[in-house]
Amino acid sequence: MSTPHIAAERGAFAPTVLLPGDPLRAEHIAATLLDDAVEVTRVRGMAGFTGRWRGQPVSVMGTGMGIPSASIYATELVREYGATRLVRIGTCGAVAADLQLGDIVLAQGACTDSGVNRTRFRGMDFAAIAGFDLLSTVAAAARMRGERFAVGNLFSADLFYHPDPALLDTLDTMGVLGIDMEAAGLYGIAAQHRVQALAVCAVSDQLREGGRWSPAQRQCGVDAMVRLVLDALAG
């Protein structure tokens, strides 16, 4: 069995799938964090792996950047491979002034300038929200560990280099914590297919102060966050 973008056999993916945008981050997670990880697909440089964490099966699949690319993989994983818990693992740019580099943002909701959810929802505004069970489980684990984290809204941007200099002020006024490029699309897919989804992002850029992670940190700097998520979901 295969799809246009995933060449894996039926049953190759676990019900829980971590979704980093960066394909190298997916490989890094599989190689350094999961036990007995095996590559189950590789199509045009985008690979997926299934292994175990504390004895429980878990998969990781790269999605590429942006809602269109991430939506392809999320949809195929749900429709064709039976995924029921989709967890975006990535980074975001901080809008909120009190967020520091490395802080964790749990996206309880995601607003966007993309039209994908309006297309799904007959032109109306759709409330793109996280799965409550996933959100509450990971938030409880983060609180127990004393992690620096915040729960709130992300803004999923269609443009990495946005032309509107006033955008940050608007987002800040509305209490948006940070900017990513995938969460709103992922939440729309999860709602449509009645599955759980959550975006968990480490702050890699302070958009007002100018602080930023190095390229190496962007690839491997989320390891502690991934362990938090895996431990939380393993119960």
What residues are labeled active site? 205
Residue among 61, 20, 70, 56 at smallest CA distance from 39: 61
Q: 64's torsion region: left (phi>0), alpha (psi -120 to 50) or beta?
A: left
Using CB atoms within 10 Å of the CB of residue 70, give its burial: 0 to 12 exposed, 13 to 18 middle, 19+ buried: buried
Which token pair is 158? 């269609």
Tokens representing 39? 């590559």
φ, ψ at 169 (rounded to 5°): -65, -40
Residue type, position 84, single letter: T
